[in-house]
Amino acid sequence: MNLRPKRPLLWLALVVVVAAIAFALRPQPVPADFATVGRGSLRVTIDEEGETRVRNRFVVSAPVTGRVLRIDLEPGDRVVAGETVIASVQPASPPLLDARTRAEAAARVSAAESALEEARAARDRTRTERDLALSDLERQRELDEGGLVSEERLETAETTARAREDALRAAESAVHTAESQLQAARAVLLDPDGRREQGPPVVVQAPVTGVVLRRIRESEAIVPAGESLVEIGDPGNLEIVSDLLSTDAVRIREGLPVLIEGWGGDETLRGVVRRVEPSGFTKISALGVEEQRVNVLIDFTDPATAWEALGDGYRVEVRVIVWEGEDVLKVETSSLFRLGDEWTVYVVEDGRATRRPVTVGHRNGFEAEILAGLEAGEQIILHPGDAVENGVAVVARS
């Protein structure tokens, strides 16, 4: 038989098999997630939980040792300074005083009287400063109507006037406190008599106008002088305290804007950093790690009607804006990785991954500013895995 016609078919079949094996073993493009380098706004924030609290709190205490009658005020009840009765204390017969103790009590009364005079002088001085600030604000507003003053100058005058109003309220509260302390000092000098137990009770009135934040003691009981009874404050004068890591607190300065979220409302509230406390403290985290924390105090800048639903001790989430920029060349942080001492990305060029070092500026948890190394419109690879190497063919993951 003639076998020659079969040889070309055999060779053809062998070529087809080899070609199929080579095609199957050829390098396949690595699927990857692509993103386009673009420009836009970038905001760097420090995020942490916070808690609202009344700025000025006043604890009303028993002025004398005796039996405090049942306190009927409930948390949330409004009180008026010098009018609302907080508690009534039935004084016990005071002990006999020896000469030295009486002299010490008289000295305390004298010191309390001096403190009261000093508080009144400070209040009058603060009132004068408030009047001057209001006069300056009125003058700045008149100049603003004529276009003769800058908006910044007007805002400064308004801020100063509000600060002077707050200082005057604090000074008036200090006067009320000094009066209460003088009353307590004079009570020590009361001479004991057999009828003091059955005499009229000592009435404790509210030192400031506000609401009852906390009723420390409710039922009737014998209490020593200075025992805390009720805590009073103005819920319309709230602030936020947030304890930040000390490494974050060093990046914060007074006047930085703050976004307030997670408070229960639909809108994002705005605030401003008023103070970064100079002293830190140690706090144990949920993982049992000791952390150095620093309290940061934040004031609301929105009108009170926007946050009137908040009260004392409410939880919020704060985002302190430490940097913000517009028209920033940026990429997602998931595209960045370290190669030695440089930040690097994979750029897609002609269907292949090309490793390129970049200079990174500001960044947050999601995006990073690119100062050099990339141009807007270039494609980069997100989440580059071990299969992505310099020069390897890549294809967009479907």
Nearest residue to 56 via CA among 200, 237, 182, 225: 237
pLDDT band at residue 293, thresholds of 50, 70 and 90? very high
- Helices (H), ranges, the chain: 6-25, 99-145, 151-187, 246-249
248 and 382 fall within a common domain: yes
Q: What is the pLDDT of residue 43?
A: 93
How far is Cα 107 from Cα 172, in angstroms, rounded to an integer? 25
Q: Of 189, 223, 251, which residue sits at a domain end?
A: 189
244 and 387 fall within a common domain: yes
243 and 102 fall within a common domain: no
169 and 243 fall within a common domain: no
pLDDT tens for residues 17-33?
Answer: 777 666 555 567 888 89
pLDDT tens for residues 174-228?
Answer: 889 888 888 888 877 776 554 444 557 888 889 888 899 989 988 888 888 889 9
Is 229 inside any structural domain?
Answer: no
Look at the chain and report how many structural domains it folds into.
2
Is 128 inside any structural domain?
Answer: yes
158 and 255 fall within a common domain: no
Is 283 inside any structural domain?
Answer: yes
pLDDT at residue 266 tops 70: yes
What are the C-alpha distances in Å from 106 to residues 82, 95, 96, 103? 26, 16, 14, 5
103 and 242 fall within a common domain: no
Calculate the CA 215 to chain-centre distance: 27
Q: What is the pLDDT of residue 274?
A: 95
pLDDT tens for residues 302-340?
Answer: 998 999 899 889 999 999 999 999 999 999 999 999 998
How far is Cα 45 from Cα 286, in angstroms, rounded to an integer? 23
Q: Of 129, 163, 189, which residue sits at a domain end?
A: 189
pLDDT at residue 114 tops 60: yes
What are the C-alpha distances in Å from 138 to residues 5, 141, 143, 358? 113, 5, 9, 54
pLDDT tens for residues 83-100?
Answer: 899 998 887 766 677 788
301 and 370 fall within a common domain: yes
Looking at the chain, the whole-number percentage of residues with pLDDT higher than 90 is 41
Q: What is the pLDDT of residue 194?
A: 43
Q: What is the pLDDT of residue 1?
A: 46
| pTM: predicted TM-score of the whole model, two decimal places | 0.60
| Mean pLDDT, residues 392-398 taken together | 85
Is 2 inside any structural domain?
Answer: no
Expressed as residue numbers, the domain containing 298 is 29-55+237-398
- Reading the block at residue 355, the tokens are 């490793």
pLDDT tens for residues 295-305?
Answer: 999 999 999 89
Q: What is the CATH number of the domain that holds 398?
A: 2.40.30.170
Beta strands in 81-152 (DSSP E): 85-91
Is 397 inside any structural domain?
Answer: yes
pLDDT band at residue 371, thresholds of 50, 70 and 90? very high
- Reading the block at residue 148, the tokens are 């003769």
Nearest residue to 113 via CA among 189, 221, 186, 48: 186
Q: What is the pLDDT of residue 182?
A: 87
pLDDT band at residue 242, thresholds of 50, 70 and 90? very high
Tell me the torsion sign for CA atoms 357, 362, 367, 369.
Answer: negative
Give, in degrees to the nearest 5, the angle at Cα 367 between 362 and 373. 70
Is 63 inside any structural domain?
Answer: no
How far is Cα 317 from Cα 260, in angstroms, rounded to an integer? 6
Q: In this structure, are residues 89 and 272 in contact, taking their beta carbons and an 8 Å threshold?
A: no
Is 299 inside any structural domain?
Answer: yes
DSSP designation for 393: B
386 and 248 fall within a common domain: yes
107 and 182 fall within a common domain: yes
| Mean pLDDT, residues 230-241 taken together | 91
How far is Cα 25 from Cα 83, in angstroms, rounded to an integer? 93
Q: Of 189, 218, 247, which residue sits at a domain end?
A: 189
Is 220 inside any structural domain?
Answer: no
Q: In this structure, are residues 353 and 391 in contact, taking their beta carbons and an 8 Å threshold?
A: yes
352 and 267 fall within a common domain: yes
How far is Cα 87 from Cα 225, in angstroms, rounded to an integer? 13
- Reading the block at residue 81, the tokens are 């300074």
User: What string of DSSP letters covers 296-347?
Assistant: EEEEE-S-GGGSTT--TT-EEEEEEEEEEEEEEEEEEGGG-EEETTEEEEEE
